[in-house]
Structure formats: C-alpha cells, structure tokens
Chain A
Amino acid sequence: MANAIDQTRRMLSLVTYLRERPGARVSEVARAFGITDAELIADLNVLPMCGTSFRGGDLLDIDTDGERIWWHNVDDVAQPLRLAADEATALLVAARAVATLPGLRESDRQALLRATAKLEAAAGEAARGSSRLSVTFEAEGSVFADVDRAISERRRLRITYYSPGRDAMTTREVDPIRLFTVGHTYFEAWCRLSEDRRMFRLDRVADIELLDEQADPPPVELRDLSQGLVQPSAEDPEVVVEVGPGGRWVAEYYSHDTAEELPDGGLRITLRAADPMGLRRLALRLGRDGRVVSPPELVDGAREAAESALAAYGG
C-alpha cells in the first residue's frame, strides 16, 4: 500500500496542478509527478470522495476515462503549498552536496546555486533545519574531468591504477562506461587488460591519458549499486577472520556472509573474495586485534610477510 502521507502530499499538489490543465492526459500527468499511471488513477479515485468545506455536499467532481482527466467543478480549493521542513531539507541538502562535485559542468553548477538561493528564500522558516544535515562528495578533480570527457566523447583511456590488494600499479587501457559517487567517486569501465568490467576509484588513478581511439565497450547491463559496490559471487573462495573487540570494525568495512558473536566480545566473520591474497593487508593490519583463520595460504602469506618485515628490525 502506498504511504498515506505521501499520497496526501501528492493529491494536494495534484488538485493545484489539474486546475490549470483541463483535459490533461493521464500518462503525461503521471510522468510529471514521477508515478505510474495506476498510482495516478488510484489518486483520481480518492479525489471525488473529498469535500472542500465542512458544510459537506461539495465533493471534488474529478473524473477520468483512463486517458484524460476532467474536473467539472473547477475551483480554487487548494493553492501551491509552502514546503515542509523535511521537503526543504531534502532538496537543499542534496542541491548543496551536488554543487560541490568537482566534475559538474560549470553551467549546471551555476544554475544549481541560483536555484538553491531562490529555494532558500521561498522555503523561509522551513529551510532552517537543512543546516543540520550535510553531505560531502569527494572526487579527484582532474581525473574526473578526463573520465567525464572520455565518456561524452566515447574515447578510450590509458590509466595507471593502484590496486591496494596487491600494492601494485598496473597500466591498462579501459573503455569508460559511467561515473558514480558512493562516498568516494568511481568509474566503471570495460578493462581491455582483464577483458572484464571493472570499478576504478578516482583517487587510486595515478596517471590518466585520453587516447584518440574510440571506446568500444561491449553492451553490459548496469548493476544497481544501491546494495554496495562489492558484490562477491557465491563461487568466490571463503575467508574466515576472527577478531577481538578491537577488530570489530572489519564487519563494518567488508561486506560479509556472516558475523557470529564470540564470547570475548569479538566476532567470527565469514566473507568471500575473488582473490583471498588481496586480503593480506587486512591480515597484517589486524595485529593483536584478530587473525585470519582460513584459507591456509592467506594465513601463511601474512605470517611470512610479518616475519620477513621483522627481519629488517633485527628480528
């Protein structure tokens, strides 16, 4: 069921909107309000049940044949309503955050800043709470500009990229597909080195060069990223890590299958990784706060790395 408050908010705007548009098309109104035709029809079924004064007997006479919407007793029953505190906050915080994106076109930024100022003025008191929330996006400016340009001009890129898992740089040619920001800013591309799609974090791009070749990524279905960037596959090898209380942060930073509580206040975390050796850094970082339990090659790899590092300090 649709949320009654959201539906009420929408219907109040609808009556103001329809007043100016006799015979409006259902599909066009639904698109303008960002809802489905069925949701709009549901709203139109409620409106004729709504009276416009306490005396009764003056219901809204709005009806539709499924294609067009007619209002037979058009009246000034509602007006453009002032913004609620949450509405002003949601718009203003989003607009201020987006305006800080380094890769935004300058004309878009200027338009957004003007819109923000006008909106602040119109929201008045309701805008006050928006200073209680803020969002910062991070994007490496110059790298961003090159990726953005490569996407709009459909050109190939050569990048030198840092892989933290292997602590190594690789140079590769990639065909960029899209840029997105979830905390950090990333771009997704078809990597011609691995012949697969890959995510690249902008702050790990050490060097970038726009090539003259046309980008030619194979058609790929864009994943919904709202569930997290790292979506390990069930076939990936399993890694088990046991941490004490001081290592509980591991469960926050690594998407995992399970995290069982241990009696000492720690956790036993099971996760999947395409390349378990990429977790050697984690194994080293844990120190006294935990240890990797399996797979054995990761356990041994971390121990050997620590022993060989200790040798430089005289044992």
Chain B
Amino acid sequence: MAIAKAERLMNLALCLMNTARPLSKRELRASIEAYRELDGGSDEAFNRMFERDKDDLRELGLIIETAEGGDDEVGYLARRDRNRLPEVALDAEEAAALGLAAKVWQQARLAEAASGALQKLRAAGVPFGEDASDGHLGALEPRIPAHEAAFEPLMIAARDRRPVSFDYRRSNAAQAESRLVEPWALECWRGHWYLAGWDRGRKDVRVFRLSRITSRVRTRSGAFSTEVPDHVDVREAVARWGGEGATSTARIRLRRGAGYPLRAKALETAPVDAEWDELEIPYGHGLDAWLVEFGPDVVVLEPAELRADVVDRLRAVAKG
C-alpha cells in the first residue's frame, strides 16, 4: 500500500526542520521511505512529487530555503529561527474571544485554516479553554457564508497577486461575458461576497458579485499591471449601486399605515388628509422598482422622470 500523503509530508517537514545544513534532493529521496518506494522510481515522478510537497508545506506556513549544499547541489532547509512563532502573550480572556471569533467561517478552507491557526497557538502555550468547541459570544451566532464556488480561487489569486479570467453575467444581461481582472480585494456585505479589482478589458476599477460568475475562475500567468490601493472600498461601490448613495430627493404620497421602510428613510413626513401622508425621500438608483412594490399605496409626485418610470413599470404589470 502506498504511504499516506500526510505521513510523507510530516517526514519531509521534520527532516527539513531538524537539519543544520541544506539537504539535497538526493539525500531527501534516500531518507524518506515514501520517496524510496515511489513506483517505477523515475526521476520525473519524484521531482513532481517533491515540488508539490514543498508547495503544500509552504501552504502550512513553513519557510523552506534553498541553498548550496555540500556537493555543489541545491539543498533545502527550514531554519528554526525563521519558522518559529514569536511569543503571543494572550491572557485567558483574549484567547477565549479569539477562539470564538475563529468559528464564524462556513467556508471549508478558511474554517480549516482558522482551526489550524488555533492549534498552532495552543501548541505554543496560548491558554485556550480545554474544549475547542466551547463557549459563545453573548447571545450571538455570527456566521460568514461563502457558498460561491469562485470564492476560494479568487481569494488565493488576490493573496498571490495573480490575474484571473472568468465569465461574468451582469444582473440585467442575457449573456455572460469573459472578463480579465486583477483581483484586489474581496468583501462580504449583507451575506454576499463581492470582488473589487482592475478590469483589464474595461481599463477601470470594477466590482463583481461572486454569485454572478458563471464559469470556473482561471488564474493567468504574469503579474499585476496596477498598483493595489491600500484601501479598497467595495461596500461603498455596492451601496451606491443599491440606491444608498442618493443624490437628490423625491416627493411621494403614501397611504397611512403602509410602507414602513419608506417612512424609516423619509427626510420629512406630513399628513395630507385622513388617508394619505406626503413624504420626501432620498432618490437614488433603483428607487422606481422599489416604489412599484407598494402598488396602490404609493403615488409619486415628483420628479417627473421618476413618475414616468413608475408608470411605465405599472403598465407592464397591468398588461400581464
């Protein structure tokens, strides 16, 4: 039976951490049983496996250096001082709060990364409680969802600063279009993930909603052509599109007792008669569609443009 991968990785990690001098590939291949047992034993198969294993250990945080070995061969080692976790002096209260925050991820990769980090901290002596699944943050159970398939590849590409391509369907478009993007940052807002980045085709900053990515995300070769800004405000861009960055106001009549969310946003409310109130509300993108939802309980007074949009929408529904 082939030796399990975890055993192979563990052996490689311990070898690299417990050597004082760089070890050549030849030495590592001779000393780790899983490499010795490699079927066929071709150099190519070993090289492929060795490269992959090094990448996997680097994913776990191990810094593996290459250096000249003894016999003019390239050697590898993981120096202790560079790989040691510096002291993290958390008290019990701080450790408890951090342990609970770590549980909010529902995305598998980040949930595993968070619990792996806690295990490292625990091994380093951070005083977590005895039970890793214990406790709660007040009455709240915060959860960060990430069901979108595009999430993980985009997170890795943003981390490694690699351009990506994917098919994207804008909310009102029939067909998806291929986009080539330098991913800068991901943000979760109101339970949905968004990507902000430089769209090479459109030569501008764009925000994408992950659930509208219709293809696999492909990582492209090459580096970013743009400087990543220190602060990328994804939420501001999404909120503006969602009608929260109103630039002017509208006046409407609203039936008494109806439209609580409109009242909650109103800048001014005054009764008209026994049945109606008049409201002044912020006018931003998407207000027409929202007002139509209230049917006969809302009448738009001005501006004329909004009134026309609402009437147009109502006519479409009345026609059936």
Among B58, B128, B189, B307, point to the contact of A313 (Cβ < 8 A).
Answer: B307
Minimum CB–CB distance from B139 to chain A (whole Å) comes to 4
Residue on B nearest A7 in the bound complex, by CB: B6
Best-buried of A82, A181, A280 by chain B (most CB within 10 Å): A82
Among A17, A84, A132, A287, point to the contact of B60 (Cβ < 8 A).
Answer: A84
Pairwise interchain contact B314-A310, C-beta atoms closer than 8 A:
yes
Report how far A32 CA is from B121 CA in the complex, Å: 12
Query: Taking the complex as formed, is B67 at the interface, i.e. its CB lies under 8 A from any CB of chain A?
Result: no
Pairwise interchain contact A112-B94, C-beta atoms closer than 8 A:
yes
Given A32-B128, A107-B93, the answer on whether A52 and B18 have CB atoms closer than 8 Å is: yes
A-B contact pairs, 30 of them (CB 8 A): A2-B6, A5-B59, A11-B10, A20-B125, A34-B118, A46-B10, A49-B11, A50-B14, A52-B15, A53-B19, A54-B15, A78-B14, A80-B125, A86-B110, A86-B159, A95-B101, A108-B138, A115-B95, A118-B90, A118-B94, A122-B86, A132-B185, A133-B155, A134-B186, A137-B142, A148-B140, A226-B143, A281-B293, A306-B317, A309-B314
Interface of B is mostly: helix
With A93-B110, A133-B186, A167-B294 already in contact, 15 other A-B pairs whose C-beta atoms are closer than 8 Å? A4-B6, A8-B56, A12-B60, A79-B17, A94-B144, A97-B144, A111-B94, A132-B155, A181-B140, A181-B143, A245-B173, A252-B212, A287-B313, A305-B295, A309-B299
Report how far A305 CA is from B97 CA in the complex, Å: 51
Report how far A151 CA is from B320 CA in the complex, Å: 47
Among B5, B57, B102, point to the contact of A94 (Cβ < 8 A).
Answer: B102
Pairwise interchain contact B56-A5, C-beta atoms closer than 8 A:
yes
Contacts of A115 in B (CB 8 A): 90, 94-95, 97-98
Among A4, A181, A289, A303, point to the contact of B142 (Cβ < 8 A).
Answer: A181
Given A80-B123, A86-B113, A118-B90, the answer on whether A56 and B31 have CB atoms closer than 8 Å is: yes
Contacts of A41 in B (CB 8 A): none
B38-63 near A? 1/0 per residue, CB < 8 Å: 00000000000000000011111111
Residue on A nearest B293 in the bound complex, by CB: A281
Interface size class of B (residues with CB under 8 A): 35 or more
Contacts of B32 in A (CB 8 A): 51, 54
Pairwise interchain contact B117-A90, C-beta atoms closer than 8 A:
yes
Minimum CB–CB distance from A110 to chain B (whole Å) comes to 9
Query: Taking the complex as formed, is A121 at the interface, i.e. its CB lies under 8 A from any CB of chain B?
Result: yes
Query: Taking the complex as formed, is B88 at the interface, i.e. its CB lies under 8 A from any CB of chain A?
Result: yes
Pairwise interchain contact A89-B15, C-beta atoms closer than 8 A:
no
Query: Which residues in window 6-39 of A have CB below 8 A to B?
Result: 6-14, 16-17, 20, 28, 31-34
Report how far A61 CA is from B297 CA in the complex, Å: 77
Contacts of A79 in B (CB 8 A): 17, 80, 83-85
Give the segment of B198-206, B216-224, B258-266 that binds chain A: B258-266
Query: Which residues in window 107-158 of A have CB below 8 A to B?
Result: 107-108, 111-112, 114-116, 118-119, 121-122, 124, 126, 129, 131-139, 147-148, 151-152
Residue on B nearest A136 in the bound complex, by CB: B189
Pairwise interchain contact A12-B132, C-beta atoms closer than 8 A:
no
B74-107 near A? 1/0 per residue, CB < 8 Å: 0000001011111111100111111011111110
Minimum CB–CB distance from B29 to chain A (whole Å) comes to 10
Residue on A nearest B28 in the bound complex, by CB: A54
Report how far A11 CA is from B31 CA in the complex, Å: 20
Pairwise interchain contact B189-A245, C-beta atoms closer than 8 A:
no
Query: Which residues in window 71-89 of A have CB below 8 A to B?
Result: 77-89
Query: Taking the complex as formed, is B116 at the interface, i.e. its CB lies under 8 A from any CB of chain A?
Result: yes
Residue on B nearest A78 in the bound complex, by CB: B17
Query: Taking the complex as formed, is B250 at the interface, i.e. its CB lies under 8 A from any CB of chain A?
Result: no
Contacts of A168 in B (CB 8 A): 257-258
Query: Taking the complex as formed, is A234 at the interface, i.e. its CB lies under 8 A from any CB of chain B?
Result: no
Query: Taking the complex as formed, is A105 at the interface, i.e. its CB lies under 8 A from any CB of chain B?
Result: yes
Contacts of B124 in A (CB 8 A): 16, 80
Contacts of A94 in B (CB 8 A): 101-105, 114, 144
Query: Taking the complex as formed, is B141 at the interface, i.e. its CB lies under 8 A from any CB of chain A?
Result: yes
Closest 4 A/B residue pairs (Cβ): A183-B191, A265-B174, A84-B61, A34-B132
Report how far A124 CA is from B294 CA in the complex, Å: 53
Minimum CB–CB distance from A296 to chain B (whole Å) comes to 11
Contacts of B320 in A (CB 8 A): 291, 299, 303
Minimum CB–CB distance from A118 to chain B (whole Å) comes to 6
Minimum CB–CB distance from A119 to chain B (whole Å) comes to 7
Pairwise interchain contact B312-A31, C-beta atoms closer than 8 A:
no
Report how far A302 CA is from B185 CA in the complex, Å: 41
Among A108, A122, A137, A302, point to the contact of B88 (Cβ < 8 A).
Answer: A122
Query: Taking the complex as formed, is B158 at the interface, i.e. its CB lies under 8 A from any CB of chain A?
Result: yes
Query: Taking the complex as formed, is A240 at the interface, i.e. its CB lies under 8 A from any CB of chain B?
Result: no
Best-buried of B82, B94, B124 by chain A (most CB within 10 Å): B94
Given A9-B116, A86-B110, A182-B145, the answer on whether A138 and B295 have CB atoms closer than 8 Å is: no
Among B63, B142, B143, point to the contact of A82 (Cβ < 8 A).
Answer: B63
Among A86, A132, A181, A264, point to the contact of B184 (Cβ < 8 A).
Answer: A132
Report how far A193 CA is from B282 CA in the complex, Å: 35
Residue on B nearest A164 in the bound complex, by CB: B261
Among B57, B185, B191, point to the contact of A133 (Cβ < 8 A).
Answer: B185
Minimum CB–CB distance from A89 to chain B (whole Å) comes to 7
A250-261 near B? 1/0 per residue, CB < 8 Å: 001000000000
Given A49-B7, A122-B86, A308-B295, the answer on whether A28 and B130 have CB atoms closer than 8 Å is: yes
Contacts of A299 in B (CB 8 A): 320
